[in-house]
Amino acid sequence: MTMLEIIEKKKLGRELSREELIFLAQAAARKTAPDYQLAALLMAIRLNGMTDRETTDLTLAMRDSGDTADLSAIPGLKIDKHSTGGVGDTTTLILAPLAAACGVTVAKMSGRGLGHTGGTLDKLESIPGMRISLTEEELIRQVREIGLAVVGQTARLAPADKTLYALRDVTSTVDSLPLIVSSILSKKLAAGTDAIVLDVKTGSGALMRQLEDSIALAYAMVRVGHLAGKPVVALVTGMEQPLGTHIGNALEVREAIDVLAGRTEGDLLTVSLKLGGCMMLLAGLVSSPEEREARMREAIANGAGLRKLKEMIAAQGGNPAVCDDTGLLPQAPFVRTALCGQEGTIQAMDTAALGRAAQAMGAGRLSLEDQLDYSVGYILKVRIGDRVTPDTPLCELHAKTEADAARAEAAIRAAIRIGKEPCARARNFYAVITEDGIQRIGENA
């Protein structure tokens, strides 16, 4: 078997065998095949697609290309959650402690932000002293003790994906459905959890901007997850505007703390409760959606969710006092408010551009080696459908300098369209997908 034979077979649209896909994953992980051959095969897959069986076999081969975590020493079902990425998407910092406070065992491996999307690990590292690199033994001990850990992936987790992902980015094959599915699920399956909740975004800030593409991706991941032996539930949720109002690492931690403390509601809480409810469902704790939400709201009201976040921060070396005083988080030296400057209704947002505005301030990175400024970002003061006047606050800028703030303000203004006509609110939920099929969610849900 050679890489050239595999390329030729897929070029002709034929189905690859399990052995051929294992050969591909090992060649990518060990770098025994040249990049130009891997790139050729990626393009053949992009053009000719893969069957569910092929995608499953590729996912498992990529999972097995490096280390896999064994979490069997942790009692009960371990539930993970994964988002396809967005702006102001701080759900993990809310739903993970809430779900753990309600009895779900959460052993979550998260990633860093790249491009316009934020990363959970970057947000956690804005907490003074917070450690996101744990050994498998430390992870198991922490989850056994407090039921919760959110940590980084090891360098040896699905190394085939690391090679192929980098090549996809420079060969225009990022949008290949089977390659997206295998990339996401190989890492999740290698992380050792028992079931997965997927949050698949759709809209101007999402990986898949068109709704039907997002539903297709979610459905493919659910099918492949089940073929790989893992229960998977997916929600398709909106990213027509930032999910939370705070964009930037320390600012997003601050918003998560405010939500868990019961000081703020809104779309971020609404989506977190729905995703957390799916985690409870997969854990076999509560069957009724209403009861699941009520349990989590009770954990906010009685402080159990915020206490669980404090426990996790302390267990991972961070300062849990940030949950009582968010002023202990990194603070930007320059803060000012920008006004809307005109009258009308917020009609639309280019959410990816809003993410890039924070990235340019220093909150995001272009490559994984870039250094972040955890303090910078902005607080968006408007939502789609809001009526505004010239004096309505548009955003609160947290920047290193006035010049940075001015550039960010210009980018934010360019990304938000204000018009004369009334406009409906942006939707949060579009579909829930299980192995039984696709259930579309009405506009008023």
What pTM was computed for the model? 0.92
Among candidate residues 285, 221, 215, 287, the one with its CA nearest the CA of residue 439: 215
Could you confirm whether 187 is annotated as catalytic? yes
pLDDT tens per residue, range 105-126: 998 887 766 566 768 888 999 9
Residue 116 has a pLDDT of 65
Supply the CATH classification number for the domain 79-324+428-435.
3.40.1030.10
Token readout for 219 is: 């459905």
Could you confirm whether 168 is annotated as catalytic? yes
Residue 223 has a pLDDT of 93
Supply the CATH classification number for the domain 3-63.
1.20.970.10
Could you confirm whether 156 is annotated as catalytic? no
Q: Which of 168, 201, 292, 398 is catalytic?
A: 168
Could you confirm whether 183 is annotated as catalytic? yes
Q: Which of 82, 108, 295, 356 is catalytic?
A: 82
Q: Which of 110, 183, 204, 272 is catalytic?
A: 183
Show me where the domains of the chain are located.
3-63, 79-324+428-435, 331-419
Q: Which of 57, 64, 89, 161 is catalytic?
A: 161
Please state the φ and ψ torsions of residue 38, each to the nearest 5 degrees: -60, -40
Residue 239 has a pLDDT of 94
CATH superfamily, domain 331-419, is Pyrimidine nucleoside phosphorylase-like, C-terminal domain (3.90.1170.30)
pLDDT tens per residue, range 370-409: 788 999 999 999 999 999 999 999 999 999 999 999 999 9
Residue 111 has a pLDDT of 72
Contacts of 14 (CB under 8 A, 6+ apart): none
pLDDT-flagged residues of the chain (< 70): 112-116, 118, 155, 367-368, 443-445
Q: How far apart are CA 321 and CA 104, in angstroms?
A: 24
Token readout for 166 is: 């980098």
Q: Which of 116, 187, 201, 310 is catalytic?
A: 187
